[in-house]
Amino acid sequence: MEVFVLNQYGIENYFPQSAMGNVLGRDLSQFFPLAEDISVPAPMSYPKSKNRQVAWQISLSRDLVGADLSEILLHIAARAQELQDT
pTM: 0.87
Domain boundaries, the chain: 11-85
pLDDT score, position 7: 96
Q: Answer for the pair 70, 60: CB distance below 8 angstroms, yes or no.
A: yes
- The one-letter amino acid code at 51 reads N
pLDDT in tens, 45-73: 999 999 999 999 999 999 999 999 999 99
